[in-house]
Structure 1
């Protein structure tokens, strides 16, 4: 099941993502730990996550399986 957004640090599948706080876009391969937005220190980022634009979002081995805020 694809989620609307994934928190920083999540395992992700390859795809395109946009910061849910500022809109900055990121595209790349699968990763074990999605990094914070590069603009995290420049402006408030209360949601601390990435919106799934394309791809599968969270990888199968989800490090936050009980987090309903994804």
Structure 2
């Protein structure tokens, strides 16, 4: 089963993402570590992750492959 959410700090493949909490769009060419949402505050971003829109999400090298 493919994940639909990647947590901040996960290694990911290129693709389009949106903040799981506020919907802010984000796209990349592949990252060694997904950044937090630029609008992140602990009180408004409890999921602390990105929803996968396109691409495959977690890269093979993801340090947390079993976390959702």
Q: Partners in 2 of 1:33 and 1:55 — Cα distance? A: 16
**Per-residue CA shift, 1:10-31, capped at 9, x if unaligned?**
0000000000000000011100
* 1:5 pairs with 2:5: yes
Structure 1's consecutive aligned runs of 4 or more residues displaced over 4 angstroms after TM superposition are: none
> Residue in 2 aligned with 1:18?
18
> Residue in 2 aligned with 1:35?
35
Shift of 1:43: 5.9
Shift of 1:42: 8.8
Q: Partners in 2 of 1:10 and 1:58 — Cα distance? A: 7
**What is the number of residues matched between the two proteins?**
68
Shift in CA distance, 66/3, structure 1 to aligned 2, threshold 3 Å: closer
Ranges in structure 2 where 5+ consecutive residues have no aligned partner: none
Quote the RMSD (CA, aligned, Å).
1.6
Ranges in structure 1 where 5+ consecutive residues have no aligned partner: none
